[in-house]
Homo-oligomer: A and B are copies of this chain.
């Protein structure tokens, strides 16, 4: 147990390197402020497929191909691939990755999947089970709207607190050797349910999960907000971010000067009419694998904490009157 810090955090003795990364985004994401950080901006949101569902898989497939190419690696160089998505039974992942021929571990963490994947991938490498592991995820605005809310043709009005599901995929390759930012700590979240039932206000539902995990991280490690150049949440959006920064003061931490949120960064919020910001597994994945890791590589950031959040309900359970269970997983990344 020499690596365990506190109840929820692992300090990795052997820190895996993020040796490659790829981000593939849709047109709208490619018109946002981070457009120069993405590897590919796709104008056809069906990616040549017959459905949005399969298109989302094609985003994942393309992200894997780009990440491998950038590292000059082949599929057979990878020991495990870890992924999941928001579609029922994670179908985007399974169809997108079915030709990879790489041992596969399927994850479900909703919009926390990118960091859940990074966590498990890091443990596979640090535990000497693997040399190289790919972690990725995706979301697609059209497949998500159809499944979680209304068919696009319905033209439903969105509430001011609603977030915009990103059409995007992000992938990293972790390795036990090489160059790149390193994963140093893993804080695994617990399921948190504060009784919130409004699926048009995911930021409010998920903020308590981010709070729980970030506070656990600080308490477990003895680190404070001062130790980080950036404390990044997955996709709390504008409202959820405010709630988090407010609530965490009660625990004695002020993160307001260090905090940002992928859902606030991916779009020009006012101009692109995304209401409370971006969301979806692909939001955190593409912002991390595009802009954020680039800034770490450039040395703008030296040490960051990334806490992705996920809402764990399905549309049926909410119609049955149930509240929204949530989770947040965090990793520390350093250069």
Flag if A104 contacts B327 (CB, 8 Å): yes
Partner of A86, one of B89, B129, B315: B89
In the complex, whether A158 has a CB less than 8 A from a CB of chain B is: no
Flag if B189 contacts A131 (CB, 8 Å): no
The 9 closest A-B pairs by CB, nearest first: A127-B127, A94-B312, A103-B188, A89-B314, A106-B108, A108-B108, A88-B314, A98-B191, A94-B325
Flag if B190 contacts A102 (CB, 8 Å): yes
CA distance A130 to B288 in the complex (A): 28
CB distance from A308 to the nearest CB of B (A): 13
In the complex, whether A2 has a CB less than 8 A from a CB of chain B is: yes
Which of A3-11, A242-250, A259-267 is near enough to bind chain B?
A: A3-11
Chain B positions within 8 Å of A131 at CB level = 1
Contact with B along A12-45 (1 / 0, CB 8 A): 0000000000000000000000000000000000
Contact with B along A117-156 (1 / 0, CB 8 A): 0011001101111110000000000000000000000000
Chain B positions within 8 Å of A10 at CB level = 129
CB distance from A104 to the nearest CB of B (A): 5
CB-CB contacts below 8 Å: A35-84 with B: 50-51, 53-54, 79-80, 84
Chain B positions within 8 Å of A128 at CB level = 1-3, 127
Chain B positions within 8 Å of A127 at CB level = 123, 126-129
Which of A221-229, A233-241, A294-302, A316-324 is near enough to bind chain B?
A: A316-324
In the complex, whether A254 has a CB less than 8 A from a CB of chain B is: no
Flag if A103 contacts B190 (CB, 8 Å): yes
In the complex, whether A272 has a CB less than 8 A from a CB of chain B is: no
Flag if A104 contacts B314 (CB, 8 Å): no
Contact with B along A199-233 (1 / 0, CB 8 A): 00000000000000000000000000000000000
| Contact A107:B106 (CB < 8 A) given known A50-B320, A123-B123, A312-B91 | yes
Most B CB atoms within 10 A — which of A80, A88, A189, A320? A88
Closest to A312 in B: B94
Chain B positions within 8 Å of A105 at CB level = 107, 109, 116, 119-120, 188
Closest to A188 in B: B103
Known pairs A89-B313, A91-B314, A107-B107. 17 more at Cβ < 8 A? A3-B128, A4-B130, A53-B320, A88-B314, A88-B316, A94-B191, A94-B312, A98-B193, A100-B190, A103-B188, A104-B191, A105-B107, A105-B120, A106-B107, A108-B108, A123-B129, A127-B129
In the complex, whether A285 has a CB less than 8 A from a CB of chain B is: no
Flag if B2 contacts A89 (CB, 8 Å): no
Partner of A95, one of B4, B101, B325: B325
